[in-house]
């Protein structure tokens, strides 16, 4: 959980740099939102594997929930 929290914090920092009001310092390494999202997926995958959780099943369950319970909550594009 600590590693996941760290990665989500890094994603928040990148979003703030690219879309927020806080520009990146010249001394900060160049990273992208895409890279940080990839790191989060990796950490989530490792976490799920350590708990013997099938991420495909978990994702399908989540999608089903959003398609039924929350079907009118989101704007379709």
* Domains within the chain, CATH numbers bracketed: 2-52 (1.10.287.1080)
Q: Average pLDDT, stretch 31-58?
A: 95
pLDDT over 80 (residue 22): no
Query: What pTM, to 2 d.p., does this model score?
Result: 0.76
Could you give the residue ranges of the DSSP H alpha helices within 1-77? 2-19, 33-50, 55-68
Q: What is the pLDDT of residue 70?
A: 78
Contact partners, residue 37, CB within 8 Å, separation at least 6? 11
Average the pLDDT over each of 26-30, 36-40, 45-49 and give the range with the smallest value: 26-30
Q: How far is CA 54 from the centre of its chain?
A: 18
């Amino acid at each position: 959980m600590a590693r996941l929290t760290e990665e989500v914090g890094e994603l928040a920092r990148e979003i703030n740099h690219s879309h927020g009001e806080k520009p990146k310092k010249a001394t900060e390494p160049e990273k992208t939102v895409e890279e940080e999202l990839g790191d989060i997926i990796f950490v989530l995958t490792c976490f799920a594997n350590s708990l013997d959780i099938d991420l495909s099943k978990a994702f399908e369950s989540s999608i089903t929930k959003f398609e039924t319970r929350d079907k009118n909550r989101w704007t379709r594009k």
